[in-house]
Structure 1
Amino acid sequence: MKWLDDQPDSSVVFLCFGSQGSFGGEQVKEIAFGLEQSGVRFLWSIRKPPPKDKLERPNDYKSDHLQEVLPNGFLERTNKIGLVCGWAPQKTVLAHKSVGGFVSHCGWNSILESLWFGVPTVTWPMYAEQQINAFQMVRDLGLGVELRLDYRIMNGEVVVADEIARAIKCVMESDNEVRKKVKEKSEKSRLAVMEGGSSHAALGDLIDDILRNKAMKEACS
């Protein structure tokens, strides 16, 4: 967070792929090369994949092991514009004024957080319903920049550096139409939870229904 405090407003792209998200060595190197090509400031949450024969969540790399998975000299070449870390407090990072873009696995919580804080997303779904979420964000709503819509991590596909750099540069453009739409959606989402807003009213209706049904059951008993 201290590093983010020192960056210009809306200048940093945040790469984070959820509690289950991790990549093999070849893909990690392509991401690194893509970040270098983009020239954009970045905060990259990188996780170590679990052993293939174990149902475990990804873990953080030890600091002295990062050099083994990243391209030779990457950390030195990017030390003025980027920071590589392990687990990151995603919601807190997205809320930070220096963050201007989000490369995400498109889990629904991540999408809601990015919209709430007005941070446009680059879509990189991996598993479960994330492909549907990515499609809805990009094609249906125009609220995301497409990197992939149908990517599945178990297929072993490698997304190359050129594509990653293109998507990152696109999402970070200040006059990007997606950025404008996400800002509008952020404002609308905040109005929705205020008194009189649609989400506030819907929750109130739910509470009323629960209390009414409870009263009816008590009367019948």
Structure 2
Amino acid sequence: MFCTSMIDVADEFGVPSFIFFTSPASVLGFILHIQASHDGEEGLDITEFEGTELAVPSWANPIPRWAFPNNVVKKELIQSFYRIARDFRRTKGILVNSVKELESCAVDALSSSGGNKVYPVGPILNLKGADGGGTKKEEVIEWLDRQPKSTVVFLCFGSMGAFREEQVREIANGLEASGLRFLWSLRRRPTDYEDVGEILPEGFVERTAEVGRVIGWAPQTTILAHRAVGGFVSHCGWNSTLESLWFGVPMATWPMYAEQKLNTFLLVNELEVATEIRMSYSSESGETVTAKEIERGVRRLMERDGSREEKLKRFNDGVRKALMDGGSSSSSITEFIEDVRNGGT
């Protein structure tokens, strides 16, 4: 999705070009909308947008300003987004790592816009072999095997999800105060801590030894698939989100960077399948989420909520059925192949 210069190469050889968009269809709609609004009569400059929310056709609800990705409100970066969106429009179509049943509003809006053909082909996930192996993985699974069903909060913030020492301590204090079982992937960018005790509150590991485990790198899909895991505190990267939906694990959202605040708004406000820790958080802001917020957030995550569970079950069924023969994504992949055979028309 960021390699649009290859479109020129495709044009030179006379072959159709397609984009693979790895974020949600709704985010694709947002990017295309702000570019069209900038280039059109409206002349929207998103970096100077002063409203509290923006209506976008691919979203059922207006998007609050706090949910805009940080990069699109920076004048030094916004032009590259406009250029990428214009390049998207030059292609024959856009494959999106999403599912029509999950993002029907966005897929329908994009399909009826008269622009590029959109193929929802997700969820494209590597569920076998992505986690690697080794002693650490075995130890984590052995610990999870000893925990009751759906009682463990799993915290993992992606390969770039590192926190300042002050924030790490607030997370630790919030988890300890909650009294919940937890498995926490705590890392410094881009590697693990040699000793997590150097950054955690004194005595935390010993005091929580019966209910919690702090690890470095995490075999995420293996953990999400485990019966003991009952909730997932996540940065809401789209791959992590799809994995959580695939395994039917409730999420608490804590966005960090890129489009993750939009993903958070999608999960909490549009799909209503997630709770929040702090939806407007950004790793660039320097803000600190307090232990009280974290305690409240993880408790809410682990509480039974019939409406949320029903929606999560429906989307869990939807993303799994989409890839089966005759499913929406399977049919979309078949349609894409036929369009390529026909010269991309």
Q: Same fold by TM (over 0.5)?
A: yes
Alignment partner of 2:266 out of 136, 142, 165 = 136
Residue 188 (str. 1) matches residue 188 (str. 2): no
* Native 8 Å contact 1:171 1:179 kept in 2: no
Which has the higher mean CA deviation after the structures are superposed, 146-155 or 11-20? 146-155
1:58 aligns with 2:198: no
The AA in structure 2 aligned to 1:27 is Q
Corresponding position: 1:150 with 2:290: no
In structure 2, the residue corresponding to 1:13 is in which secondary structure?
Answer: strand
How many angstroms does 1:7 deviate by? 1.1
Secondary structure of the residue aligned to 1:4 is helix
1:117, distance to aligned residue in structure 2 (A):
0.5
Letter in 1 for 2:190: P
Q: Unaligned 5+ residue runs, structure 1?
A: 49-56, 217-221
User: What's the offset of the Cα at 1:95?
Assistant: 1.1
Amino acid of the structure 1 residue aligned with 2:253: T
61, 86, 98: which is aligned to 2:228?
98
Partner of 2:340: 210
Aligned to 1:36: 176
Matched position secondary structure for 1:154:
coil
- What residue is the counterpart of 1:7 in the other structure? 147
Per-residue deviation, 1:183:
2.1
TM-score using structure 2 length: 0.58
Q: Deviation string for 1:133-152 (max 9, x for gaps)?
A: 00111011101101112111
Match of residue 88, structure 1, among 218, 233, 240 = 218
Distance across 2 between alignment mates of 1:153 and 1:113: 23
Q: Conserved in 2, the CA contact under 8 Å of 1:101 and 1:122?
A: yes
Secondary structure of 1:196's counterpart equals coil
- Secondary structure class of the residue paired with 2:342: helix
Displacement of 1:15 in angstroms is 0.3
**RCO higher in 1 or 2 (8 Å CA, sep ≥ 6)?**
1
Q: Deviations over 1:59-108 (max 9, x none)?
A: 1011xx32221111111111111110000011111111111100000101
Cα 1:142–1:175 change in 2 (3 A) is: closer
Q: Look up the SS of the partner of 1:190 in the other structure.
A: helix
Q: Which residue of 1 aligns with 2:156?
A: 16
Residue identity matched to 1:29: R
Letter in 1 for 2:162: S
**1:168 equivalent in alignment to 2:308:** no
TM-score (norm 1): 0.89
Question: 2:35 aligns to what?
Answer: none
Q: How many residues are matched?
A: 205
Q: Return 5+ residue gaps in structure 2 as ranges.
A: 1-140
1:110-146 per-residue CA deviation (whole Å, 9 max, x = no partner) reads: 1111011101111100111001000111011101101
CA distance in 2, matches of 1:175, 1:117: 17
CA displacement, residues 189-213 of structure 1 (integer Å, 9 cap, x when unaligned): 1111111111111111111111222
Partner of 2:250: 120
Report how far residue 174 of structure 1 moved: 2.8
* Amino acid aligned to 2:268: V
Q: Percent identity?
A: 55
**In the alignment, is the contact (CA less than 8 A) between 1:170 and 1:176 conserved in 2?**
no
